[in-house]
Chain A
């Protein structure tokens, strides 16, 4: 039996490549799925807002359900530690000022992500 020919056939090579790719992806997921979600809140002028309430909504098939809340620090930064969804929305509120809901799409559940664009507060959201 020609083992070299069998091992180099596409029926062996393709599954091996797929297995390596899936294994590599799973390893990457395992290393980057801590549920960390960070960002910042700014006012209409772009200055950081401390003490704003940031709400995290998680996608629940066809609706968004409120999952967690946190507050921004002195630098306007906020952080969620336990996001377990792949599709979330963030909204900030400070008194009467509200930011639009920002949809964040992740490549896998609980992916660690820093949201580059700040949540900008405005009257009426």
Chain B
């Protein structure tokens, strides 16, 4: 890289830093409000936290059944992640194999991504009720057990595996299940990470479905707890934002742990000709 090229990078980096600050400002404001007891609309606003303390987090932990909500969210998200990994990997692998109607199945799946979940929520509810899974962990995770976007992430990743490798595995006598487990998945760790991150975050943040199918407070997840907390507190001070931070933190942690593989997973197959 020449000196001129390096000089040209500065404006780009400056623009990216400015955009990042704009993007991160709301998160900073939430965090700042969580560790102070300022009102979020206080005027004039203080850029830096004044008298920071962590007692708002203690309030959240004890004023509502936070540990129960947290446990429910963790269980539901783990079920969703496990279901996504197993079902999406199988579906993604199936879509890489030649079979009659494959193109139609792909078109059908892609068209289904255009239908919003709200449009199918009544049939989804009726199916869940018919399976007697209302107000259960499996029922809470059911709509996110397999997602079309994640199926195609696996498919793109599997398509990028050299055909000769799969042929060699077949010649060695491996069946489809073992090819998937021994060849495809070990070469698709970015796709696995992407599936884990996406399914975890979608399940973690899911509000509408748990709102509809939970019957008791014991089965509610964190987003429902947040809504309940807001309805109790009805103010815009520290404890509410401490709750927001506590809801956001696990999703951020999972994303940060898997971010490099997540990025690779999203771009796998993007340059395939």
Contact = CB atoms under 8 A, between A and B. Distances in A.
A86 B257 CA distance: 33
Interface string A54-83: 000000011000000000000000000000
A109 B62 contact: yes
Contact of B63 (A11, A61, A107, A108): A61
A2 B173 CA distance: 24
Contacts, number: 23
A107 B58 contact: yes
A62 B258 CA distance: 40
Contacts of B253: 14
Contacts of A107: 58
Contacts of A117: none
Given A61-B63, A61-B232, A106 B58 contact: yes
A52 interface: no
A41 interface: no
A105 B58 contact: yes
Contacts of B207: none
A87 interface: yes
For the residues of A in contact with B, the DSSP-based class is loop
B31 to A, nearest CB: 20
B59 interface: yes
A108 B58 contact: yes
Contacts of A4: none
Contacts of A87: 55, 58-59, 62
Given A62-B232, A109-B62, 9 more contacts: A10-B257, A14-B257, A61-B63, A86-B62, A87-B55, A87-B58, A87-B59, A105-B55, A105-B58
Interface of A: 10-11, 14, 61-62, 86-87, 105-109
21 contacts: A11-B257, A14-B253, A14-B257, A61-B63, A61-B232, A62-B232, A62-B233, A86-B58, A86-B59, A86-B62, A87-B55, A87-B58, A87-B59, A87-B62, A105-B53, A105-B55, A105-B58, A106-B58, A107-B58, A108-B58, A109-B62
